[in-house]
């Protein structure tokens, strides 16, 4: 037990790691890339208080909710048009709150939905096919870019055994300060 009710496997291990992506204007990307090009179609950033005791509700991650709204609007997509997502599951409860904030599950239903397989490979919305922070490790500075890499691999159909079938639109959600700041990106293969 680390802090009730979180046990050791509920907590992401802080690890070493590195990640990098190449960003380019779409025309140039199409010219130089030998692989399918993935385009960022939505991007949202929002903040909340860092102090947990200052938040109205501890079971909501408002910054993710606001960031997602901005990104969905920019991308003209709704949560049910997203084929897979990489989210910041620093602790078990974080993923549950995040999938609710992203609109994949109703408020208070993220836990049961996960138990019933909604977020597994082959589920309605596969979440963290990379393993996420808990299973892949959490190299704090590299975690967000690593999410973009996993989505890119999936959208290109290069994810091997963990490939999500017909994945065309993916989402990444990253946060810091226990949800004090959140970023949501939506990507599409072109």
Partner 1 sequence: MSSPRYWRGIPQRYRLEAGKCRKCGKIYFPPRLICDECKSREFEKVNLPKEGKILTYTIIRVAPSQCTDQAPYAMGIVELSAGSTGKDGVKILSQIADCDFDKLEIGMPVRIEFRKIYQEGEAGIICYGYKCVPV
Nearer to partner 1, 60 or 81 (CB): 60
Nearer to partner 1, 107 or 116 (CB): 107
Q: How far is the CB of 4 from partner 1 (least distance, A)?
A: 5
Nearer to partner 1, 54 or 166 (CB): 54
Q: How far is the CB of 11 from partner 1 (least distance, A)?
A: 9
Q: How far is the CB of 59 from partner 1 (least distance, A)?
A: 10
Give per-residue burial for 29-68: e unless 16+ CB within 10 Å, then b.
Answer: beeeeeeebbebbbbbebbbeeeeeebeeeebbbbbbbbb
Place of tokens 């960003």: 23
φ, ψ of residue 169 in degrees (nearest 5) = -130, 125
Positions touching partner 1 (CB under 8 A) are 1-5, 49, 51-54, 58
Q: How far is the CB of 134 from partner 1 (least distance, A)?
A: 16
Helices (H), 19-175: 26-32, 62-75, 92-101, 110-115, 132-136, 143-156
**Is 148 in a helix, a strand, or coil?**
helix
What is the DSSP secondary structure assignment for residue 103, as one 8-state letter?
T
Q: How far is the CB of 179 from partner 1 (least distance, A)?
A: 15
CB 64 within 8 Å of CB 101: yes
Nearer to partner 1, 32 or 58 (CB): 58
Nearer to partner 1, 34 or 53 (CB): 53
Whole-Å CA distances, 52 to 56, 59, 110: 9, 10, 20
């Amino acid at each position: 037990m680390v802090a009730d009710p979180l046990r050791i496997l509920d907590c992401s291990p802080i690890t070493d790691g590195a990640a990098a992506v190449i960003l380019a204007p779409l025309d140039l990307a199409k010219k130089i890339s030998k692989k399918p090009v993935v385009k960022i179609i939505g991007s949202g950033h929002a903040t909340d208080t860092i102090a947990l005791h200052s938040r109205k509700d501890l079971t909501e991650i408002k910054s993710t909710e606001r960031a997602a709204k901005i990104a969905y609007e920019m991308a003209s997509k709704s949560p049910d048009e997203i084929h897979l997502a990489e989210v910041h599951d620093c602790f078990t409860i974080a993923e549950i709150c995040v999938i609710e904030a992203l609109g994949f599950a109703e408020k208070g239903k993220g836990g049961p939905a996960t138990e019933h397989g909604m977020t597994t490979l082959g589920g309605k919305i596969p979440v963290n096919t990379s393993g996420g922070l808990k299973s892949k490790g959490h190299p704090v500075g590299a975690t967000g870019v690593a999410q973009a890499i996993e989505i890119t691999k999936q959208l290109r159909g290069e994810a091997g055994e963990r490939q999500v079938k017909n994945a065309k639109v993916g989402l990444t959600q990253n946060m810091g300060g226990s949800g004090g700041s959140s970023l949501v990106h939506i990507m599409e293969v072109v």
